[in-house]
């Protein structure tokens, strides 16, 4: 099986997701600025995977700091953290992972600098290891919600490629299958970046999971034909009230799911839940370069000079969400209470 | 301005819509089999344009028949008509145009064969001329429904390129603009064939109409942001009860429009209305080659051997349609009565 992101020697290695499914190329990054670039350019993407990559980027940057005392070290360290935090605005896992690294730095300020650096690398590796474990637990909880011989629609890629491994939404599908259920999957291709056709289709096929690829605008048709039993998607940020920011198009899928009385589940780790944000409208939505819409694989598909909008995410209001599947169980309405409760369980 | 389809000398000339917006290439067809191929391969597409092309194909085929008596002629003629009718199943304009040509043949069976051939060519040219006139009238009726300074979302291409000229849905937009209104347009790119980004964006830009291109899955986001005031689309076939078959994704847009209380209009000539079909479920939906989904401009964007669905159309139930704009005025609920009434007006 492939590795999405990995700490190897003194470098961060990532599969270049821009080249999938055509080529399986691993990139080796030895500087934090390159890691930041890789996140920005979507070599790696998916909220949990971005979090892991950012933590490793912080550890990598920290390991190269020449300072001998904590104060000087910390000044440089914060620069590293700030650059990594500036790469993408929507997925909160990025900020969560960086905060976790900052906290470790602060808590271990008394350590000699070389040991502090080791401690930071250890933390980044732990975030990586934890994420896989969390996803397996999400998969167990969520797998119970899927009926045997059912067909699940998913949007974008919330799979092994979007996480340290196993996946959130695809983790739920894997969890159901590991529990002995027969599950079929419909994958939205997910324009403009085609995470569905390029990544979800690829990793499910590799896993021998029955997957059918459709364009985004076919989801409503398939639902109307009675071919979809449940929707499971990931999340980039979940507000305290249960509003969910996820890949552009998720909101439309949620509206269609309700129209057809199909349950709509969101699978995400606690690190995706942002209790500081009360309402989905407050979640910053990244607008990406227009070339993602006007070009596919470098080929122009729209007239030169055409105006384009390219919001990378949208917000699905909590009223359309049947349940949020986390590593601490499934939360249902009212979300404000349920989501807050998750953090007390720890 | 470009010509979508044209009778020129003793050939049918069409702009190759597969190459737009990159190249503006005109193809000249001198045999009806080639015209059938062009319809099948989507050199020309759009229900009214397919009707015009099929009529010209019939005229072209008829003009080459060597028979000297009507009976022998008619036998060959029906072969021509049958081949053209077999090209695409959903758009009823194709069958409507072929039936019109058959009727002209039957009505003029007494004519000497050379004159009958001329009569058929004249009819095909008339279908072409009528279509432009009809679209201008649709534009006038529909233009009144759009408010000044409003923004219209359209899906696929129901423009000059989908008709003999001017367009149905885009005709409504042109009609409003010609009536002095300021109208902005959002165009869904319309996967998999990209009629929105390749054709609608191209022809509106050429016409200096303010157009913004989005991917299909962004429509819900734009509606939620309050950026869309009305939806106008074309149709491939309208059942007697007002159910509308149109490009895949139209149904999803209609569900989203209702969710946001945005009027959803369908613009189509009477030749698109099929009173013989009672309900949208009876409309045959074409499934096209999977390569349209797995490839863009010849480049693979999905894993080899992946399962794909590719329905080219969907059906929007009449309950989601605010009004059907025809050359004989705007029909509203109850559609069964209103649509039937249109045909009595003639």
pLDDT tens string A250-292 = 999 999 999 999 999 999 999 999 999 999 999 999 999 999 9
Q: Choose the closest CB to B307 out of A213, A296, A308.
A: A213
Which among B130, B210, B216, B236 is annotated as catalytic?
Answer: B236
- Asked if B246 and B338 sit in the same domain, the reply is yes
Question: For residue B287, what is the DSSP state?
Answer: B
> Which residue from A minimizes the CA distance to B216?
A217
Q: Catalytic site residue A16? A: no
Inspect the interface and report whether the beta carbons of B194 and A252 lie closer than 8 Å: no
Mutate one of B303, B308, B316 to test the A interface: name it (highest A CB count within 10 A). B303
Identify whether the C-beta of residue A273 lies closer than 8 Å to the C-beta of residue A48: no
Mind telling me how many Å the CA of A255 is from chain B's nearest CA? 7
- Asked if B213 and B329 sit in the same domain, the reply is yes
Predicted local confidence at residue A1, as pLDDT: 78
Cα angle A118, A123, A126 (rounded to 5 degrees) comes to: 130
Residue A224 at interface with chain B, using a CB cutoff of 8 Å: yes
Identify whether the C-beta of residue A49 lies closer than 8 Å to the C-beta of residue A4: yes
Q: Choose the closest CB to B293 out of A213, A248, A249.
A: A213
Predicted local confidence at residue A51, as pLDDT: 98
Predicted local confidence at residue B312, as pLDDT: 98
Percent share of chain B, pLDDT over 90: 99
Identify whether the C-beta of residue A12 lies closer than 8 Å to the C-beta of residue A53: yes
* CATH number of the domain encompassing residue B126: 1.20.120.420
User: pLDDT tens digits for B39-54?
Assistant: 999 999 999 999 999 9
Cα radius of gyration (chain B)? 20
Q: Mean pLDDT, chain B, as a whole number?
A: 98
Query: What's the pLDDT band for B1 if we cut at 50, 70, 90?
Result: confident
Residue that is written with structure tokens 């006139």 in the block = B133
Mind telling me how many Å the CA of B130 is from chain A's nearest CA? 30
Identify whether the C-beta of residue B55 lies closer than 8 Å to the C-beta of residue B36: no
Number of independent structural domains in chain B: 2
User: pLDDT tens digits for B238-289?
Assistant: 999 999 999 999 999 999 999 999 999 999 999 999 999 999 999 999 999 9
**Partners of residue A299 in chain B, C-beta under 8 Å:** 296-297, 299
This prediction has a pTM of 0.97
Please say if the pLDDT value at position B311 is more than 80. yes
**Partners of residue B288 in chain A, C-beta under 8 Å:** none
Distance of CA B125 to the CA centre of its chain: 17
Q: In what helix (H) or strand (E) does residue A213 lie, and over which residues does it extend? A: strand A211-214
Q: Mean pLDDT, chain A, as a whole number?
A: 98
**Alpha-carbon span A119 to B330, nearest angstrom:** 72
> A71-78: long-range contacts (C-beta < 8 A, 24 or more apart)?
A73/A113, A73/A116, A74/A105, A74/A109, A77/A102, A77/A105, A78/A102
Query: What's the pLDDT band for B346 if we cut at 50, 70, 90?
Result: low
- Asked if B40 and B89 sit in the same domain, the reply is yes
Half-sphere exposure of B305 (CA within 13 A, CB side): 6
Residue A202 burial (CB < 10 Å; 0-12/13-18/19+)?
Answer: buried
**Alpha-carbon span B207 to B174, nearest angstrom:** 9
- Asked if A91 and A37 sit in the same domain, the reply is yes
Mind telling me how many Å the CA of B18 is from chain A's nearest CA? 11
What are phi and psi for residue B223, nearest 5 degrees?
A: -65, -45
Q: Give the number of other Cβ atoms within 10 Å of residue A230's Cβ.
A: 23
Please say if the pLDDT value at position A345 is more than 70. no
Tokens of B111: 């004519």
Please spell the DSSP secondary structure of B39-61, one letter per residue: HHTTSS-SHHHHHHHHHHHHHHH
The A residues from 3 to 22 touching B (CB cutoff 8 Å) are 21-22
Predicted local confidence at residue B81, as pLDDT: 98
Q: Choose the closest CB to B213 out of A213, A216, A307.
A: A307
Inspect the interface and report whether the beta carbons of A217 and B294 lie closer than 8 Å: no
> Which residue from B minimizes the CA distance to A223?
B252
Predicted local confidence at residue A160, as pLDDT: 98
- Asked if B173 and B290 sit in the same domain, the reply is yes
Tokens of A167: 């996946």
Residue A217 at interface with chain B, using a CB cutoff of 8 Å: yes
Which among A236, A243, A274, A314 is annotated as catalytic?
Answer: A236
Q: In what helix (H) or strand (E) does residue A338 lie, and over which residues does it extend? A: helix A335-345
**Residue of A229, A227, A253 whose CA lies nearest to B309:** A227
Cα radius of gyration (chain A)? 20
Question: For residue A287, what is the DSSP state?
Answer: B
Domain's final residue, options B136, B159, B174: B136
What are phi and psi for residue A330, nearest 5 degrees?
A: -100, 125
- Asked if B175 and B78 sit in the same domain, the reply is no
User: pLDDT tens digits for B139-159?
Assistant: 999 999 999 999 999 999 999
**Alpha-carbon span B158 to B167, nearest angstrom:** 6
**Partners of residue B228 in chain A, C-beta under 8 Å:** none
Query: What average pLDDT does range A97-126 have in this prediction?
Result: 98
Query: What average pLDDT does range B28-40 have in this prediction?
Result: 98
Mind telling me how many Å the CA of B143 is from chain A's nearest CA? 24
User: pLDDT tens digits for A121-174?
Assistant: 999 999 999 999 999 999 999 999 999 999 999 999 999 999 999 999 999 999
**Alpha-carbon span A330 to A338, nearest angstrom:** 9
Query: What's the pLDDT band for A86 if we cut at 50, 70, 90?
Result: very high
What are phi and psi for residue B308, nearest 5 degrees?
A: -140, 145
- Asked if A111 and A149 sit in the same domain, the reply is no
Residue A306 at interface with chain B, using a CB cutoff of 8 Å: yes
Tokens of A60: 């990598």
- Asked if B77 and B171 sit in the same domain, the reply is no
**Partners of residue A212 in chain B, C-beta under 8 Å:** 307-309
- Asked if B57 and B115 sit in the same domain, the reply is yes
Q: Domain span at residue B39?
A: 5-136
Query: What average pLDDT does range A196-223 have in this prediction?
Result: 98
* CATH number of the domain encompassing residue A332: 3.40.50.10470
In three-state secondary structure terms, B8 is strand
Q: What is the 3-state secondary structure (H, E, C) of A142-179?
A: HHCCCCCCEEEEECCCCCHHHCCCCCCHHHHHHHHHHC
Query: Which residues on neighbouring strands pair with residue A326, listed in sequence order?
Result: A329
Domain's final residue, options A109, A136, A163: A136
Note the ipTM here. Answer: 0.97
- Asked if B129 and B153 sit in the same domain, the reply is no
What are phi and psi for residue A111, nearest 5 degrees?
A: -65, 150
Tokens of A195: 């995470």
User: pLDDT tens digits for B161-211?
Assistant: 999 999 999 999 999 999 999 999 999 999 999 999 999 999 999 999 999
- Asked if B52 and B181 sit in the same domain, the reply is no
Which residue stretches of chain B are H helix?
A: 32-40, 47-63, 70-85, 92-107, 113-143, 169-178, 195, 201-206, 219-224, 250-259, 291-294, 335-345
- Asked if B158 and B18 sit in the same domain, the reply is no
Q: Choose the closest CB to A309 out of B205, B214, B256.
A: B214
Nearby residues of A107 by Cβ (< 8 Å), 6 or more positions away? none
Domain's final residue, options B78, B110, B136: B136
The B residues from 307 to 346 touching A (CB cutoff 8 Å) are 307-311, 314-315
Nearby residues of B205 by Cβ (< 8 Å), 6 or more positions away? A303, A305, A306, B211
Identify whether the C-beta of residue B260 lies closer than 8 Å to the C-beta of residue B328: no
Mind telling me how many Å the CA of A53 is from chain B's nearest CA? 25
């Amino acid at each position: 099986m492939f590795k999405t992101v990995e700490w190897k020697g003194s470098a961060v290695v990532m599969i270049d997701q821009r080249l999938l499914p055509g080529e399986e190329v691993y990139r080796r990054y030895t500087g934090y600025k390159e890691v930041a670039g890789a996140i920005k350019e979507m070599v790696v993407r998916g909220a949990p995977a971005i979090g892991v990559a950012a933590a490793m980027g912080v550890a990598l940057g920290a390991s190269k700091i020449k300072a001998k005392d904590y104060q000087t070290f910390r000044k440089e360290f914060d620069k590293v953290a700030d650059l990594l935090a500036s790469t993408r605005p929507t997925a909160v896992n990025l900020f969560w992972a960086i905060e976790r690294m900052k906290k470790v730095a602060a808590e271990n300020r008394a350590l000699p600098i070389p040991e502090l650096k080791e401690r930071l690398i250890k933390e980044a590796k732990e975030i990586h290891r934890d994420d896989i474990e969390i996803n397996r637990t999400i998969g167990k909880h969520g797998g119970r919600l899927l009926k045997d011989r059912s067909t699940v629609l998913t949007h974008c890629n919330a799979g092994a490629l979007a996480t340290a491994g196993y996946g959130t939404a695809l983790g739920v599908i894997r969890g159901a299958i590991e529990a002995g259920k027969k599950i079929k999957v419909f994958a939205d291709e997910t324009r403009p970046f085609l995470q569905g056709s390029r990544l979800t289709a690829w990793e499910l096929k590799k896993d021998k999971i029955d997957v059918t690829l459709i364009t985004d605008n076919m989801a409503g048709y398939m639902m109307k034909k009675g071919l979809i039993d449940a929707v499971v998607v990931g999340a980039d940020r979940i507000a305290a009230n249960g509003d969910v920011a996820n890949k552009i198009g998720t909101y439309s899928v949620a509206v269609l799911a309700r129209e057809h009385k199909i349950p709509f589940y969101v699978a995400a780790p606690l690190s995706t839940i942002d209790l500081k944000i009360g309402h989905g409208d407050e979640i910053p939505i990244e607008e990406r370069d227009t070339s993602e819409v006007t070009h596919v694989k470098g080929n122009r598909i729209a007239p030169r000079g055409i105006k384009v909008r390219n919001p990378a995410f949208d917000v699905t209001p909590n009223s359309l969400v049947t349940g949020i599947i986390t590593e601490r169980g499934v939360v249902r309405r009212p979300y404000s209470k349920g989501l807050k409760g998750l953090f007390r369980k720890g």
